[in-house]
Amino acid sequence: MDGRDAWVDIDEGALRHNLRALRATLGTAVRIYLCVKMNAYGFGADWVAPIAAQEGMDGFACCDALDAARVRSASVDLPILLYPGKVVASLVELAQPGMIVTAHDDPSLDQCVQRQLPFYLKIDSGFGRLGFAAERPNDILERITDPGRCRLIGAYAHFSDQLDYAAVARQGQLFQRCVDAIEERMGRTLERNVGASRVLITDPAWALNAVNPGGLVYGLYDALGVHRLRPVLSAVKARVIALRHMPAGSKSGYSNQTYERDSVIAVAPIGYSDGLPRVQEHGQVLLRGRRLPLSGPRHAEYTMMDVTDMAEVQIGDEVVFVGSQGGQDITLSELTTGTDLTETDLLQRLARHPHRHLI
Protein backbone atom coordinates (compact mmCIF):
# COMPACT_ATOMS: atom_id res chain seq x y z
CA MET A 1 0.00 0.00 0.00
CA ASP A 2 1.48 3.34 -1.08
CA GLY A 3 0.53 5.72 1.73
CA ARG A 4 -0.81 9.11 0.69
CA ASP A 5 -1.12 10.81 -2.68
CA ALA A 6 1.94 12.96 -1.95
CA TRP A 7 5.51 12.39 -3.07
CA VAL A 8 8.86 13.86 -4.09
CA ASP A 9 10.71 13.21 -7.35
CA ILE A 10 14.41 12.42 -6.89
CA ASP A 11 16.57 12.76 -10.00
CA GLU A 12 19.54 10.38 -9.97
CA GLY A 13 20.66 11.77 -13.32
CA ALA A 14 20.92 15.23 -11.78
CA LEU A 15 23.11 13.91 -8.96
CA ARG A 16 25.43 12.24 -11.44
CA HIS A 17 25.48 15.35 -13.62
CA ASN A 18 26.45 17.56 -10.65
CA LEU A 19 29.18 15.18 -9.52
CA ARG A 20 30.64 15.15 -13.01
CA ALA A 21 30.45 18.95 -13.20
CA LEU A 22 32.32 19.16 -9.90
CA ARG A 23 35.06 16.83 -11.12
CA ALA A 24 35.32 18.62 -14.47
CA THR A 25 35.71 21.95 -12.68
CA LEU A 26 38.34 20.78 -10.18
CA GLY A 27 40.28 18.27 -12.24
CA THR A 28 41.68 14.95 -11.09
CA ALA A 29 44.40 16.32 -8.79
CA VAL A 30 41.91 17.53 -6.18
CA ARG A 31 40.55 15.01 -3.67
CA ILE A 32 36.78 15.30 -3.25
CA TYR A 33 35.30 14.36 0.12
CA LEU A 34 31.59 14.56 -0.67
CA CYS A 35 29.65 15.88 2.32
CA VAL A 36 26.95 13.42 3.39
CA LYS A 37 25.93 15.19 6.62
CA MET A 38 22.24 15.20 7.60
CA ASN A 39 21.92 11.77 5.97
CA ALA A 40 23.21 13.25 2.68
CA TYR A 41 20.97 16.33 2.97
CA GLY A 42 17.97 14.05 3.40
CA PHE A 43 18.55 12.00 0.26
CA GLY A 44 20.06 9.07 2.16
CA ALA A 45 23.79 8.52 2.55
CA ASP A 46 23.28 4.86 1.63
CA TRP A 47 21.70 5.97 -1.69
CA VAL A 48 24.22 8.72 -2.48
CA ALA A 49 27.42 6.86 -1.55
CA PRO A 50 27.41 4.15 -4.28
CA ILE A 51 26.58 6.75 -6.95
CA ALA A 52 29.35 9.04 -5.69
CA ALA A 53 31.83 6.14 -5.73
CA GLN A 54 30.85 5.26 -9.29
CA GLU A 55 31.37 8.91 -10.31
CA GLY A 56 34.91 9.00 -8.97
CA MET A 57 34.58 10.75 -5.62
CA ASP A 58 37.54 10.14 -3.29
CA GLY A 59 35.76 9.99 0.05
CA PHE A 60 33.03 11.43 2.23
CA ALA A 61 32.69 13.93 5.06
CA CYS A 62 30.14 14.15 7.87
CA CYS A 63 29.74 14.93 11.55
CA ASP A 64 27.54 12.06 12.70
CA ALA A 65 29.02 8.57 12.77
CA LEU A 66 25.54 7.30 11.90
CA ASP A 67 25.95 8.90 8.49
CA ALA A 68 29.30 7.15 8.16
CA ALA A 69 27.59 3.87 9.07
CA ARG A 70 25.02 4.47 6.33
CA VAL A 71 27.84 4.86 3.82
CA ARG A 72 29.40 1.61 4.98
CA SER A 73 26.00 -0.15 4.87
CA ALA A 74 26.02 0.50 1.12
CA SER A 75 29.32 -1.46 0.84
CA VAL A 76 31.31 1.67 0.01
CA ASP A 77 34.76 1.66 1.66
CA LEU A 78 36.12 5.05 0.61
CA PRO A 79 37.70 7.18 3.38
CA ILE A 80 35.35 9.17 5.61
CA LEU A 81 36.38 12.44 7.24
CA LEU A 82 34.53 12.88 10.54
CA TYR A 83 33.93 16.44 11.71
CA PRO A 84 33.92 16.90 15.51
CA GLY A 85 30.74 15.45 16.95
CA LYS A 86 31.64 13.57 20.14
CA VAL A 87 33.79 14.12 23.20
CA VAL A 88 37.50 13.42 22.97
CA ALA A 89 37.26 10.06 24.78
CA SER A 90 35.34 8.69 21.79
CA LEU A 91 38.05 9.39 19.19
CA VAL A 92 39.68 5.96 19.46
CA GLU A 93 36.29 4.28 19.05
CA LEU A 94 35.49 6.45 16.01
CA ALA A 95 38.84 5.84 14.32
CA GLN A 96 37.79 2.62 12.62
CA PRO A 97 39.57 1.54 9.42
CA GLY A 98 38.98 4.11 6.72
CA MET A 99 37.86 6.81 9.17
CA ILE A 100 39.72 10.10 9.56
CA VAL A 101 38.93 11.87 12.84
CA THR A 102 39.40 15.56 13.59
CA ALA A 103 41.67 17.25 16.13
CA HIS A 104 40.16 20.64 16.97
CA ASP A 105 41.62 21.43 20.40
CA ASP A 106 44.48 20.42 22.69
CA PRO A 107 42.88 17.28 24.19
CA SER A 108 41.74 15.91 20.82
CA LEU A 109 45.14 16.64 19.25
CA ASP A 110 46.94 14.92 22.12
CA GLN A 111 44.70 11.89 21.71
CA CYS A 112 45.34 11.71 17.95
CA VAL A 113 49.10 12.06 18.37
CA GLN A 114 49.49 9.69 21.30
CA ARG A 115 47.22 7.00 19.84
CA GLN A 116 48.59 7.48 16.32
CA LEU A 117 45.13 7.95 14.85
CA PRO A 118 44.68 9.11 11.24
CA PHE A 119 43.39 12.66 11.58
CA TYR A 120 42.75 16.08 10.12
CA LEU A 121 43.35 19.36 11.91
CA LYS A 122 40.48 21.82 12.19
CA ILE A 123 41.80 25.37 11.74
CA ASP A 124 39.80 28.44 12.77
CA SER A 125 40.41 31.17 10.19
CA GLY A 126 37.72 33.44 11.58
CA PHE A 127 34.53 31.39 11.70
CA GLY A 128 34.82 31.17 15.48
CA ARG A 129 33.12 27.84 16.05
CA LEU A 130 35.78 25.13 16.39
CA GLY A 131 39.46 24.74 15.68
CA PHE A 132 42.96 25.98 16.40
CA ALA A 133 43.54 29.68 15.77
CA ALA A 134 45.12 30.05 12.32
CA GLU A 135 47.26 32.91 13.64
CA ARG A 136 48.99 30.60 16.14
CA PRO A 137 50.32 27.48 14.39
CA ASN A 138 52.81 26.99 17.24
CA ASP A 139 49.87 25.96 19.45
CA ILE A 140 49.69 22.89 17.20
CA LEU A 141 53.39 22.37 16.56
CA GLU A 142 54.39 22.24 20.22
CA ARG A 143 52.11 19.21 20.69
CA ILE A 144 53.52 17.27 17.73
CA THR A 145 56.81 16.16 19.26
CA ASP A 146 57.47 13.31 16.84
CA PRO A 147 56.28 14.21 13.30
CA GLY A 148 57.40 10.83 11.95
CA ARG A 149 54.89 8.97 14.14
CA CYS A 150 52.10 11.48 13.66
CA ARG A 151 49.41 10.33 11.18
CA LEU A 152 48.27 13.81 10.20
CA ILE A 153 46.60 13.72 6.79
CA GLY A 154 45.46 17.29 6.28
CA ALA A 155 43.81 20.43 7.60
CA TYR A 156 40.48 22.08 6.91
CA ALA A 157 38.60 25.23 7.81
CA HIS A 158 35.09 26.58 7.44
CA PHE A 159 34.87 30.21 6.34
CA SER A 160 32.36 32.90 7.26
CA ASP A 161 30.91 35.20 4.55
CA GLN A 162 31.50 32.47 2.02
CA LEU A 163 29.88 34.32 -0.88
CA ASP A 164 32.11 37.37 -0.33
CA TYR A 165 35.18 37.07 -2.56
CA ALA A 166 37.33 39.36 -0.40
CA ALA A 167 36.36 37.62 2.85
CA VAL A 168 37.11 34.19 1.36
CA ALA A 169 40.50 35.39 0.10
CA ARG A 170 41.41 36.91 3.49
CA GLN A 171 40.50 33.76 5.46
CA GLY A 172 42.07 31.51 2.83
CA GLN A 173 45.41 33.29 3.02
CA LEU A 174 45.40 33.02 6.81
CA PHE A 175 44.71 29.30 6.52
CA GLN A 176 47.47 28.84 3.95
CA ARG A 177 50.10 30.51 6.13
CA CYS A 178 49.12 28.30 9.06
CA VAL A 179 49.37 25.09 7.03
CA ASP A 180 52.68 26.23 5.51
CA ALA A 181 54.14 26.31 9.01
CA ILE A 182 52.72 22.90 9.88
CA GLU A 183 54.01 21.33 6.65
CA GLU A 184 57.48 22.70 7.32
CA ARG A 185 57.50 20.98 10.70
CA MET A 186 55.99 17.74 9.36
CA GLY A 187 58.34 17.59 6.38
CA ARG A 188 55.60 16.51 3.99
CA THR A 189 52.67 17.85 1.99
CA LEU A 190 49.25 17.84 3.65
CA GLU A 191 45.77 17.93 2.22
CA ARG A 192 44.40 21.49 2.35
CA ASN A 193 40.64 21.52 2.46
CA VAL A 194 38.56 24.72 2.58
CA GLY A 195 36.35 23.99 -0.43
CA ALA A 196 32.83 23.91 0.93
CA SER A 197 30.10 24.52 -1.65
CA ARG A 198 29.72 28.28 -1.27
CA VAL A 199 33.49 28.81 -1.30
CA LEU A 200 33.75 26.91 -4.59
CA ILE A 201 30.84 28.88 -6.04
CA THR A 202 32.61 32.13 -5.07
CA ASP A 203 36.03 31.11 -6.40
CA PRO A 204 36.89 27.54 -7.53
CA ALA A 205 40.57 28.42 -7.14
CA TRP A 206 40.13 27.73 -3.42
CA ALA A 207 39.76 24.04 -4.18
CA LEU A 208 43.49 23.80 -3.27
CA ASN A 209 44.18 20.04 -3.22
CA ALA A 210 41.06 18.76 -1.38
CA VAL A 211 37.42 19.84 -0.98
CA ASN A 212 34.34 18.84 1.01
CA PRO A 213 31.29 20.21 -0.85
CA GLY A 214 27.68 19.24 -0.19
CA GLY A 215 24.96 21.68 -1.18
CA LEU A 216 26.14 22.31 -4.73
CA VAL A 217 26.15 18.58 -5.50
CA TYR A 218 22.53 18.26 -4.32
CA GLY A 219 21.41 21.17 -6.46
CA LEU A 220 21.30 24.15 -4.10
CA TYR A 221 23.18 26.29 -6.64
CA ASP A 222 22.56 26.91 -10.33
CA ALA A 223 26.10 26.75 -11.65
CA LEU A 224 29.73 26.01 -10.82
CA GLY A 225 32.03 27.92 -13.13
CA VAL A 226 30.93 27.14 -16.69
CA HIS A 227 28.91 24.09 -15.64
CA ARG A 228 25.18 24.28 -14.97
CA LEU A 229 23.93 22.34 -11.95
CA ARG A 230 20.58 20.59 -11.59
CA PRO A 231 18.31 20.06 -8.56
CA VAL A 232 18.37 16.48 -7.31
CA LEU A 233 15.02 17.15 -5.63
CA SER A 234 13.23 17.85 -8.90
CA ALA A 235 9.63 18.07 -7.63
CA VAL A 236 7.34 17.99 -4.61
CA LYS A 237 3.81 16.97 -5.59
CA ALA A 238 0.44 15.75 -4.34
CA ARG A 239 -3.02 15.09 -5.75
CA VAL A 240 -6.33 16.75 -5.00
CA ILE A 241 -8.26 14.32 -2.80
CA ALA A 242 -11.28 16.50 -2.00
CA LEU A 243 -13.22 19.52 -3.27
CA ARG A 244 -15.03 21.32 -0.47
CA HIS A 245 -17.91 23.75 -1.11
CA MET A 246 -17.72 26.42 1.57
CA PRO A 247 -20.50 29.02 1.99
CA ALA A 248 -19.73 32.71 2.41
CA GLY A 249 -19.00 33.56 6.03
CA SER A 250 -17.63 30.13 6.88
CA LYS A 251 -14.02 29.22 7.51
CA SER A 252 -11.91 26.09 7.45
CA GLY A 253 -8.92 24.78 9.26
CA TYR A 254 -6.79 27.00 11.47
CA SER A 255 -7.40 30.19 9.51
CA ASN A 256 -9.07 33.08 11.31
CA GLN A 257 -10.39 34.47 8.03
CA THR A 258 -13.85 33.69 6.70
CA TYR A 259 -14.70 33.20 3.05
CA GLU A 260 -16.06 36.39 1.48
CA ARG A 261 -18.08 34.43 -1.09
CA ASP A 262 -19.26 30.90 -1.73
CA SER A 263 -16.00 29.10 -2.40
CA VAL A 264 -14.59 25.80 -3.61
CA ILE A 265 -11.55 24.60 -1.70
CA ALA A 266 -9.25 21.86 -2.99
CA VAL A 267 -7.48 19.70 -0.40
CA ALA A 268 -4.15 17.94 -1.02
CA PRO A 269 -2.71 15.43 1.50
CA ILE A 270 0.66 17.10 2.11
CA GLY A 271 1.67 19.56 4.82
CA TYR A 272 4.31 20.69 7.25
CA SER A 273 4.95 17.13 8.49
CA ASP A 274 6.29 16.53 4.98
CA GLY A 275 8.78 19.41 5.33
CA LEU A 276 6.77 22.23 3.77
CA PRO A 277 6.72 25.56 5.67
CA ARG A 278 3.75 25.69 8.03
CA VAL A 279 3.14 29.38 7.49
CA GLN A 280 4.15 30.93 4.20
CA GLU A 281 3.04 34.42 3.29
CA HIS A 282 1.79 34.53 -0.31
CA GLY A 283 2.56 30.82 -0.75
CA GLN A 284 1.45 29.38 -4.07
CA VAL A 285 1.11 26.07 -5.88
CA LEU A 286 0.68 25.02 -9.51
CA LEU A 287 -2.57 23.33 -10.49
CA ARG A 288 -3.66 22.72 -14.08
CA GLY A 289 -0.84 24.97 -15.23
CA ARG A 290 -1.97 27.96 -13.13
CA ARG A 291 -0.60 29.53 -9.97
CA LEU A 292 -2.96 29.41 -7.02
CA PRO A 293 -2.59 30.92 -3.53
CA LEU A 294 -2.80 28.79 -0.43
CA SER A 295 -5.99 29.03 1.59
CA GLY A 296 -4.85 29.53 5.18
CA PRO A 297 -1.78 27.92 6.77
CA ARG A 298 -0.74 24.36 6.01
CA HIS A 299 -1.84 21.60 8.35
CA ALA A 300 0.36 18.69 9.42
CA GLU A 301 -0.77 16.54 6.49
CA TYR A 302 -3.01 18.80 4.40
CA THR A 303 -2.84 21.93 2.29
CA MET A 304 -5.87 23.82 0.99
CA MET A 305 -6.23 25.98 -2.15
CA ASP A 306 -9.04 28.21 -3.36
CA VAL A 307 -10.20 26.89 -6.77
CA THR A 308 -13.50 28.74 -6.94
CA ASP A 309 -12.63 30.24 -10.33
CA MET A 310 -11.34 26.94 -11.76
CA ALA A 311 -14.41 24.85 -12.52
CA GLU A 312 -12.26 22.37 -14.42
CA VAL A 313 -10.39 21.15 -11.31
CA GLN A 314 -11.09 17.52 -10.49
CA ILE A 315 -10.23 15.08 -7.74
CA GLY A 316 -6.95 13.40 -8.72
CA ASP A 317 -5.43 16.50 -10.34
CA GLU A 318 -1.71 16.91 -9.69
CA VAL A 319 -0.62 19.82 -7.46
CA VAL A 320 2.99 21.03 -7.71
CA PHE A 321 4.64 22.57 -4.64
CA VAL A 322 8.17 22.49 -6.10
CA GLY A 323 8.79 21.86 -9.78
CA SER A 324 7.25 22.62 -13.15
CA GLN A 325 3.79 22.48 -14.66
CA GLY A 326 2.29 24.18 -17.69
CA GLY A 327 5.46 26.10 -18.48
CA GLN A 328 5.67 27.60 -14.96
CA ASP A 329 8.06 26.79 -12.13
CA ILE A 330 8.13 26.96 -8.35
CA THR A 331 11.67 26.72 -7.00
CA LEU A 332 12.95 25.76 -3.59
CA SER A 333 14.05 29.37 -3.19
CA GLU A 334 10.50 30.61 -3.78
CA LEU A 335 9.23 28.17 -1.18
CA THR A 336 11.29 29.99 1.47
CA THR A 337 9.54 33.32 0.76
CA GLY A 338 7.85 34.71 3.86
CA THR A 339 9.55 32.18 6.14
CA ASP A 340 12.71 32.17 8.21
CA LEU A 341 13.89 28.98 6.48
CA THR A 342 16.82 28.58 4.12
CA GLU A 343 16.94 26.39 1.03
CA THR A 344 19.20 23.98 2.92
CA ASP A 345 16.62 23.73 5.72
CA LEU A 346 13.88 22.88 3.26
CA LEU A 347 15.92 20.54 1.09
CA GLN A 348 16.92 18.16 3.87
CA ARG A 349 13.34 18.16 5.21
CA LEU A 350 11.65 17.56 1.85
CA ALA A 351 14.21 15.07 0.49
CA ARG A 352 13.53 12.60 3.29
CA HIS A 353 9.84 12.32 2.39
CA PRO A 354 8.69 8.71 2.89
CA HIS A 355 7.26 8.52 -0.64
CA ARG A 356 10.16 9.04 -3.06
CA HIS A 357 9.92 8.53 -6.81
CA LEU A 358 13.30 7.99 -8.47
CA ILE A 359 13.28 9.43 -11.97
For 16, residues 6+ apart whose C-beta sits below 8 A from its C-beta are: 51, 55
Reported as a single tens digit per residue, the pLDDT across 335-354 is: 998 888 999 999 999 999 99
pTM attached to this predicted model: 0.94
pLDDT value of position 101: 98
CATH 3.20.20.10 in the chain: give the residue spans: 12-224
- List every span in the chain annotated with CATH 2.40.37.10: 233-358
pLDDT digit string, tens, across residues 80-138: 999 999 999 899 999 999 999 999 999 999 999 999 999 999 999 999 999 999 999 99
pLDDT of residue 1: 52
Q: What is the CATH number of domain 233-358?
A: 2.40.37.10
Architecture of the domain delimited by 12-224: Alpha-Beta Barrel (3.20)
Burial 328-345 (b: 16+ CB within 10 A, else e): eebebeebbeebebebbe
Mean pLDDT of 45-57: 98
How high is the pLDDT of residue 68? Answer: 97
Tell me the pairing of strands 191-195 and 210-211: parallel
For the chain, give the percent of residues with pLDDT over 90.
89
Do the Cβ atoms of 65 and 94 come closer than 8 Å?
yes
Average pLDDT in the 48-58 region?
A: 98
pLDDT digits (tens, 9 = 90+) for 301-327: 999 999 999 999 999 999 999 999 999
Nearest to 122 by CA among 176, 162, 158, 174: 158
Say what percent of the chain tops pLDDT 70.
Answer: 99
Q: Could you tell me which of 120, 76, 74, 130 has the C-alpha nearest to residue 94?
A: 120
Give the E-state strand segments of 80-239 in sequence order: 80-82, 99-103, 119-124, 132-133, 152-156, 191-195, 210-211, 223-224, 227-228, 233-239
How far is the C-alpha of 55 from the C-alpha of 49, rounded, in Å? 10
Cα 178 to Cα 125: distance, rounded to the nearest angstrom: 9
